[in-house]
Structure 1
Amino acid sequence: MDTISAYTTSNRKIDPSRRPRSKPDGSPDDNNRVEIGPTALAFEAWAKAGLEAPNLEAMRQYRLQRIVGELRKHDYAGLLCFDPLNIRYVTDTTNMQLWVTHNPSRACFVSADGYVVLWDYANCEHLSAHLPIVREVRTGASFFYFVSGDRVGEHAARFAGEIDDLLKSHGGGNRRLAIDRIEPEGLLALRSLGIETFQGQVVSELARAIKGPDDIKALKCAVHSCEIAMHEMQRQLRAGMSENDLWSILHAENIRHGGEWIETRILASGPRTNPWFQECGPRIIQEGDIVAFDTDLIGVYGMCCDISRTWLCGDGEPTPEQKRVYRHAHEQVHSNLALLRPGMGFREFTEKANLAPQEFRHNRYGVLAHGVGLCDEYPSLYFPEDYPATGYDG
């Protein structure tokens, strides 16, 4: 019998008809894959908790249709996004998310017929190659002073010309363009070409406000991973550690599970808890201290977990005042939660909400409630005393 060479095709080890392995969310089970996402630790924890991972392809298609629906409702030819979270919503791509919040190097355009173009950072086309929802990847959306210097106007005009061409190709004669945010030179360049510009946050916020089934699954999974991180914080909380020591645990556990970043650093202890919004620092936590924090965490799938908790350091009995204040807070949260129902107006909620005793109102939070998704989102529901200046109905 002839020996088969190790180099002949008959020794093939991979069946070309076999489908690649996938993770529970439908993404490739490839150790060397490009895209980020949940770690094995997260998937294992969700399975143990009986949580179902989202179908990422279904989630992406749903989000695109939400944007397209709002564009058609407002009779816009397209939406131009520079906000990295709107880019994430439209394309499900990421690239240096925090850096591009202050260096607008990425953009995307989605037409009313669902054609998506992504402008990414130079030589980063490979980061979105796995996403069929992105029809084109380009570069050249940067026209801020750091990268363009005294050529800002020139670069903005070049980019505006590309948008003009896309509107001609996909707008059907419609020149109405929604924009979420843009450098001033870019806006001027677009308008100089006869493009009508409109507030694009109306499109993106209203689209993002209604979550699809897989958005909700992604949120539940993200919250579960965040809760694991919070449990680890509580387990390690002890007198003698600094606020920063405790806060670092939340960061570490978020990253371990495949989360992305934390938007704030609102953790305080003892007398620093009031007034609120003091950022965590080097203060050493004492036995019997109240420790309070707001996660403001962008977790797995880019989903925001905006969860507040208040703990007591140590095993001692809370003081009567600590119990009294906590009781008021608990009652306010749960009564307002019970008040919410589909179809309720924003102003109606303001008028009916539990507002807590007057003694606490001077230090009230900025809102009674707000939406959440990829970050804190529309709507914002305000206290009665703030409604005349800042409130809106819906």
Structure 2
Amino acid sequence: MEFASPFPVSNRRIDPTRRRASRGALLPDGSPNDNDRVEIGPTDLAFREWAARGLTPPDLTRLRQYRLSRLVDALIARDYGGLLMFDPLNIRYATDTTNMQIWTMHNPARACFVAASGHVVLWDFHGCDHLSAHLPLVSELRHGASFFYFESGDRAAEHAGQFTAQIDELLRTHAGGNRRLAVDRIEIPGQRALEALGIEIKDGFELTEKARAIKDGNELNAMRCAIAACEAAIGEMRSLARPGLTEVDLWAELQRGNHIRGGEWIETRILSSGPRTNPWFQEAGPRIIQNGDILAFDTDMVGTYGYCADLSRTWKIGDQKPTEYEKDLYKLALEHVETNQALLRPGLGFRELTEIGHRLPERFRAQRYGVMYHGIGLCDEWPSIRYPEDLESSGYDGVLEPGQCLCVEVYLGEVGGPCGIKLENQVVITETGHENLTSLPFEDDFLAP
């Protein structure tokens, strides 16, 4: 899946000396090999590990062009004039800019507008112009998208009006007057101001989630690199794992492994041991891990290039063998994942997957996981494919396409049981079936007769 960009690849704000760098001055992903560069990215450790595994880093120029083209094509297909984004991951997808990503998730100080014509405007935090200077697909850099209460207080409506006047101008100038605007999320004063201008607000998440769902080969290279870095960090956590450490000791090692390879953050801290593995979703705490404990975790790792590696495994800690109960749970959990993974192919409907998928025994259904499958990209993404028990209340339909990436997962634990098992693989839908992107082995001790 290749892509030829219709967008310009120059920008007067770019330092021209950087674009004239020789091939030897570039990293394998095409970014400058400059120790003092502004943009974030993988470390030398990550590049060495990827080379040892035979992985190809993404071409960042083509990755950025492809992602922006997906959004523009989606706007044209829906006859929208533009797309307004405040969600940091949507902004990252459109522009590849990063700026205090966790902070801006709850302080919407940045915004991005993409016109159906391909014109891109980024509003960044004050004093941060330099952070996007290396990105030629950003047509304009502006300021003044902050009108949340902490920033604007009782002047929020005033500041929202100033911002939305710019959106009105952009729709007139770069969208031919098309007043249909997709918006992913916006503070209430901003929504009211847009509506007062006669702008028709459309569901931006419907557009962005479906645009982001299909990865080309180059984008998959970025995901493979992120998964490899995650698996290396898991290996380091495993080498440390032993009785006497706390859950947070191990979680800190996983965080460290992510960051030293150029990864960005971990969305949750779901790691638990012993009786804390049942019920699920207990986050890493000060519990001291005992010899013979079960340890289970879910990485939820936003790694290199901002791509998510969402892998789950369950281990036995110390020198004791798994009990028969633990082995029975593990084997059933693995059967669930492998059976459901084997079903994946293009053209299969979401509801059909629910209907033909592996059926959990009744004693495990009360504590079933929230989904059988979910999409994955820069984070957990559309779709969510439900268990039969949740289909009527929460399910929806759709069809798998080549280039979609999914996580196949299970949590298995009885109500009041002594432990639980968590397993998860990350895969991509291909033209003929699927490819498992995960190389982490499963546990021989749990699978022994």
Q: What range describes the TM-score normalised by the shorter chain of this pair?
A: over 0.9
SS at the partner of 1:198? strand
Which residue pairs with 2:388 in the alignment? 384
Which residue pairs with 2:322 in the alignment? 318
- CA–CA distance in 2 between the matches of 1:197 and 1:377? 22
- CA–CA distance in 2 between the matches of 1:289 and 1:86? 40
Asked if 1:228 corresponds to 2:235, the answer is no
Which residue pairs with 2:250 in the alignment? 246
- CA–CA distance in 2 between the matches of 1:17 and 1:253? 34
Which residue pairs with 2:442 in the alignment? none
Which residue pairs with 2:402 in the alignment? none
Q: Which protein has the larger Cα radius of gyration, Structure 1 or Structure 2?
A: 1
SS at the partner of 1:362? helix
Match of 2:272 among 260, 265, 268: 268
- TM-fit CA distance, 1:172: 1.0
Query: Equivalent residues in 2 for 1:166-181 (5 A)?
Result: 166-181=170-185
Asked if 1:85 corresponds to 2:85, the answer is no
- TM-fit CA distance, 1:356: 2.1
- CA–CA distance in 2 between the matches of 1:234 and 1:383? 31
| Residues 312-336 of structure 1: CA deviation (Å, up to 9, x unaligned) | 0013211000100000000000010
Q: TM-score, normalised by structure 2?
A: 0.84
- TM-fit CA distance, 1:358: 1.3
Asked if 1:71 corresponds to 2:87, the answer is no
Match of 1:129 among 133, 147, 166: 133
The one-letter amino acid of 1:41's match is L
The one-letter amino acid of 2:129's match is E
Match of 2:58 among 32, 54, 60: 54
SS at the partner of 2:389? coil
Unpaired runs of at least 5, structure 1: 1-13
Asked if 1:346 corresponds to 2:364, the answer is no
Which residue pairs with 2:124 in the alignment? 120
Match of 2:101 among 91, 97, 102: 97
- CA–CA distance in 1 between the matches of 2:27 and 2:361? 50
The one-letter amino acid of 1:39's match is T
The one-letter amino acid of 1:179's match is V
Unpaired runs of at least 5, structure 2: 1-16, 399-449
- TM-fit CA distance, 1:19: 2.6
| Residues 273-330 of structure 1: CA deviation (Å, up to 9, x unaligned) | 0110011100000011000000011000000111001000013211000100000000
| Residues 167-216 of structure 1: CA deviation (Å, up to 9, x unaligned) | 00011121100000000100110111111111100110010000011110
Root-mean-square deviation (CA, aligned residues, Å) is 1.1
Q: TM-score, normalised by structure 1?
A: 0.95
SS at the partner of 1:317? coil
SS at the partner of 1:386? helix
Which residue pairs with 2:283 in the alignment? 279
- CA–CA distance in 2 between the matches of 1:238 and 1:115? 54
- TM-fit CA distance, 1:17: 7.0
- TM-fit CA distance, 1:72: 0.8
- CA–CA distance in 2 between the matches of 1:239 and 1:203? 48
The one-letter amino acid of 1:355's match is R
| Residues 333-387 of structure 1: CA deviation (Å, up to 9, x unaligned) | 0010001111100000000000221111110000001000000000000011101
Which residue pairs with 1:145 in the alignment? 149
- TM-fit CA distance, 1:18: 6.0
Which residue pairs with 1:219 in the alignment? 223
- TM-fit CA distance, 1:144: 0.7
- CA–CA distance in 1 between the matches of 2:254 and 2:200? 45
SS at the partner of 1:59? helix
Which residue pairs with 2:361 in the alignment? 357
SS at the partner of 2:256? helix
SS at the partner of 1:110? strand
Give the direction of change, closer, same or farther, for the CA distance of 1:155–1:370 in structure 2 (3 Å limit): same
